[in-house]
Structure 1
Amino acid sequence: MEGPLERIEKEHGTLSTLQKILLSTDGSVTSLLEAIEGEEVMISTLSQNVVPADAKTAEELEIRPGDQVNHRIVELRNSRTREVLIYAVSDTPLERLEPGFRSDLMRADIPIGRILKKHAIESRREISHVGVRGSDARISRIFGIALNDQVLFRKYRIIRQGKPFISIEEVFPERSFRMGSGVFVSAPARLHLGLIDLNGSLGRIDGGIGIAVQLPRTVITAEHSPDLIVSGGTPPSARRAGDTAHRVLSSLGMCGGARIHIRAVPPGHVGLGSGTSLSLAVARALCELSGMPVPVRDLAMMTGRGGTSGIGTAAFESGGLIVDGGHSYGPGGEKQEFLPSSASPGIHPAPAVTGLNFPEEWEILIVIPEPLSTVSGAQETAIFRESCPVPLHEVREICHEVIMRLLPGVMEHDLDLFGAAVNRIQEIGFKRIERERQPLHLRELESCLRNAGAACAGMSSFGPVVYAVSGSGLDRLEAAARDLLGKKQAAFIRTRADNHGAIVRHL
């Protein structure tokens, strides 16, 4: 008789031995993960609430609808790398809990298997369902995978004294826990809040402010191949991946090729840094395949990224809020004129002078208006040459905003302070010039989002992406934006900051 694992393999492809064990074990998943990872596994609780059981939960737990259950959503993470290994949702009827067990469960930071062991509770696991489904936005954000990427899941009950004691669902990406020869790289997008100094009177130019975001993401896989083969993505992104791969293979003297598959990539030249994230993802994957540890900053220079702003490179490396210190300028300096990154090959990425965790409780709405009014290539270079140097007093004001409002706002979780700085930066320096190059309705969209309750709104890079940051939900902001845009098409992405950078895993 065909079992659930055989059915999955028949419909979706071969499972690894580790995946089969995780989907079918009747023991502690936490202990298994620690054996697999060689590291302690920690619990990160996303939410825990006592709620009335709905009809489905009541049926699973054999209780009455409306009975109180402890509803807990957690991530099981590698304690050293902080990588999310498994996402789990559990429901426990309070009426079946002894006081000591209930106290430990409500502490939220102890794996259920360890609580069972601590209280010497005799139980068994009864698996009710094992399957495959597409990831939703939340799962995609948590694991750093593309929307609708396949995830494996299982549902089971812990039975004690003949009655369901806990109902649990565990989820992990289909690409996880494979012991093959491939590499998976998932890199965050970034929002570029502004360039700091395009005046140069102090002998330095550029300098940037940016935030890495959990969604959208660049997601690729790579495996050994005698030839270089690129699949997936859009034609421009596939060409970029191929060009990057050729450059990296040549620069590092690597033999052979690779099979690179682009599983997800944000649209190019809209203000999300997709060119840098894709180039660095490809470069990092090739280095991992070859066992050559190359620093991210060196990869950026090798692939021609970061010659003006270091935000994309730092977002890939560590995430968070980044402020970079620009480049030396003038005779003997790294740069002799004002140019965008695309026209600055051979320039080291700007050093990140500040990297802070951006408050993850602050939500971010990204709006990508269509049709895309992009600025890139020769047009972008011409704007730099025509518009610089910008007035020194505006550069000084940007620095004042960054030091006295933007950075303290992030460090003290003061959204109003942070938002005031971002809103002012939209009106001065090179950001003012960038915004003037986009249609009027995008500036109206920024005002609309602020009026709807956003602490700040702005345009990322040259746009057309517009973003807003809020501490009180995004429903009103999105509704207001849709009303303003009317029949104009736009994509809306709800996200938060990414404080970790790229995820790299061997498959």
Structure 2
Amino acid sequence: MSKTSRYSRALMAEVDTGSRLHFGFYRTTGGPFLFASIGAAIREPSFKAVVRPCEGLEVSGQDKDRVLSLAEDVVRALGVPGARIEVRSSIPAHVGLGSTTQVKLGIAWALNALYGLGKSVRELAFLIGRGEFSGIGTLAFEAGGLIVDTGRRAEFKGPKDLPRALVRLDVPEDWRFLLLTREGMRGLNEASERDLLLSLEPMPDGVRGRICSLLLNVLLPSVLWGNIRAFGRALTEIQELVGRYFSPYQGGVFADEAAEELRSFLLSKGAYGVGQSSWGPTLYALTTARECQALKEAVSAFLEESGFKYGVLVAEPRNEGARLEVRSP
């Protein structure tokens, strides 16, 4: 329980940040820059909360137990007296949508403003332990859009060593991502991910070269031209290549054994591209605003017939960073 103080009556901050899709790495270990990534920000699911300064820590609302645990880390790292947090919506944990980074950065960004810490997003990310193995979550929090990051410096000592945005582009507003998350299944947690990634062998030259070729020659130009077909084909191949590279660690190209069948079905019903976000189990299918409802209905019928239990959600691209409004209660 928190102790009421002068802080709780001063100001409040409303924070709103979306999720991120992680499309994979184009470079992992070896060399001066590690874990270079590709990804995009999406509007849903979102983390929305009202944060007030106070002494101690109190969390109410959705997913309060997990948010409390993450908030304890943030308050400790920032060295502030505490926070009262009302969670209005949250992001499912360990399903491949980057919830830990978005929730921790959302709380840290709010406390940074409320306590006048004057720190940048990158400084906050380093303090709360984010960005060591991918910059997509932090960069999506900063500015949204489609992101290709540089990877981090091999010597990782401070905020200046975090990944930077090599490319950041707006995703066409009429594109959509259909998200499918298997009920009761979770991907790797942060501790398991850290151990695995630090032990990785470098990505083979042929795999890295093909991913970079697709990235430079097809994926990025397709975003600028709004060519969803070319983008989807390139993204599907990139995800296949990344999935094969990680298959010894996740049991196949996908973490979810039903994903191969789902991918084939989605592509047969008009999805422009299909992949797994991060460690999964969430799959995404690329479609358009006009076509997303028909695709959602088709895959929902398929899942009901097959007996697979999945949550299905349509997500819009998010071409802006997190929103923060500080005001009097």
Scaled by the length of structure 1, the TM-score of the pair is 0.58
Q: Which amino acid aligns with 1:212?
A: A
Question: Which amino acid counterpart does residue 230 of structure 1 have in structure 2?
Answer: V
Partner of 1:39: none
**Partner of 2:162 in structure 1?**
349
Pairing partner for 1:494 from 284, 299, 314: 314
Measure how far apart 1:449 and its partner are. Answer: 1.3
Q: What pairs up with 1:441-456 in 2 under 5 angstroms?
A: 441-456=258-273
Q: What residue number does 2:156 align with?
A: 334
Paired with 1:265 and 1:384, the residues of 2 have a C-alpha distance of 27
Describe the shift of the 1:257–1:390 C-alpha distance in structure 2 as closer, same or farther (beyond 3 A).
same
Bigger CA radius of gyration: 1
- Aligned 8 A contact 2:139 2:165 in 1: yes
1:387, 1:221 → 2: CA distance?
A: 40
Report if aligned partners of 2:48, 2:89 keep a CA contact under 8 Å in 1. Answer: yes
After TM superposition, the structure 1 = structure 2 runs for residues 451-470 of structure 1, keeping only pairs within 5 Å, are 451-470=268-287
* Counterpart in the other structure of 1:477: 295
| 1:181 partner amino acid | L
Q: Are 1:438 and 1:463, in contact at CA under 8 Å, matched by a contact in 2?
A: yes
Q: Which amino acid aligns with 1:280?
A: L
In structure 2, C-alpha distance between the alignment counterparts of 1:184 and 1:494, rounded to whole Å? 24
Q: 189, 205, 208: which is aligned to 1:392?
A: 205
Specify the code of the residue in structure 2 equivalent to 1:221. V
| C-alpha displacement of 1:453 | 0.4
Deviations 1:381-426 (A, max 9, x none): 4543555222111011111111111100001111111111101011
Contact 1:301 1:348 in 2 (8 A): no
Structure 1 residues 388 and 477: CA distance shift in structure 2, 3 A = farther
Can you list the C-alpha shifts for 1:71-93, whole angstroms capped at 9, x where unaligned?
xxxxxxxxxxxxxxxxxxxxxxx
1:188 paired residue number = 18
Match status 1:259 vs 2:75: no
User: Which residue of 192, 201, 214 maps to 1:401?
Assistant: 214
Deviates more, 1:486-495 or 1:282-291: 486-495
**Match of residue 376 from structure 1:** 189
Cα shift at 1:180: 6.9
1:241: which partner in 2?
A: 71
Shift of 1:203: 3.1
Alpha-carbon distance change, 430 to 301 in structure 1, aligned in 2, over 3 angstroms: farther
Give the RMSD, CA atoms, in angstroms: 2.2
Quote the residue 1:214 is aligned against.
43
Q: Give the Cα–Cα distance (whole angstroms) in 2 for the partners of residues 295 and 244 of structure 1.
A: 15
2:59 corresponds to which residue? 230
Aligned partners of 1:366 and 1:492 also within 8 Å: yes
Report the CA distance shift for 1:505/1:184 in structure 2 as closer, same or farther (over 3 A): same
The within-5 A match list for 1:100-111 is: none
Number of equivalences:
311
Q: Which residue of 2 aligns with 1:312?
A: 137
Contact 2:203 2:245 in 1 (8 A): no
What's the secondary structure of 1:475's corresponding residue?
Answer: helix
Q: Deviations over 1:478-499 (max 9, x none)?
A: 2332233333222111121111
Q: TM-score, normalised by structure 2?
A: 0.88
Q: Where does residue 8 of structure 1 map in the other structure? A: none
Is the 8 Å Cα contact of residues 230 and 242 (structure 1) preserved in structure 2? no
Q: Partners of 1:380 and 1:191 in 2: how far apart?
A: 17
Q: How far does residue 327 in structure 1 lie from its aligned partner after superposition? A: 2.1
Contact 2:153/2:161, CA 8 A, preserved across alignment = no
1:446 deviates by 2.0
Q: 3-state DSSP class of the match of 1:305?
A: coil
Residues 466 and 327 from structure 1, CA distance in 2 versus in 1: closer, same or farther, beyond 3 angstroms?
same
Structure of higher RCO (CA pairs closer than 8 Å, 6+ residues apart): 2
- Once the two structures are superposed, residues 16-47 of structure 1 have per-residue CA deviations (whole angstroms, 9 ceiling, x without a partner) of xxxxxxxxxxxxxxxxxxxxxxxxxxxxxxxx
Aligned to 2:32: 203
Work out the CA distance in 2 between the residues paired with 1:373 and 1:292.
35
Secondary structure of the structure 2 residue equivalent to 1:195: strand
Decide which moves more: 463-472 or 294-303: 463-472
C-alpha distance in 2 between matches for 1:210 and 1:280? 18
Instruction: Please list, as runs of the form range in 1=range in 2, the aligned pairs for 1:57-76 lying within 5 A after superposition.
Output: none
Distance 1:347 1:192 in 2: 22
Given candidates 229, 232, 246, the residue that maps to 1:433 is: 246
Deviation at 1:432, TM superposition (A): 4.4
2:231 corresponds to which letter in structure 1? F
Of 81, 87, 104, the match for 1:279? 104
2:223–2:231 CA contact under 8 A, matched in 1: yes
Match for 2:55: what amino acid? P
Checking the alignment, whether the CA contact within 8 Å between 1:442 and 1:466 is kept in structure 2 is yes
Which amino acid is 1:222 matched to?
V
Question: Which residue does 1:300 correspond to in 2?
Answer: 125
Q: Is the 8 A contact 2:94 2:186 kept in 1?
A: no
Compared CA separation, residues 403 and 501, structure 1 to 2 (3 A): same
Deviations along 1:153-174, one digit per CA (max 9) or x if unpaired, are xxxxxxxxxxxxxxxxxxxxxx
**Residue matched to 1:367:** 180
One-letter code aligned to 1:207: A
Unaligned stretches of 5+ in structure 1? 1-178, 336-344
> 1:334, 1:476 → 2: CA distance?
46
Counterpart secondary structure, 2:38: strand
C-alpha contact (below 8 Å) 1:457/1:467 kept by paired residues: yes
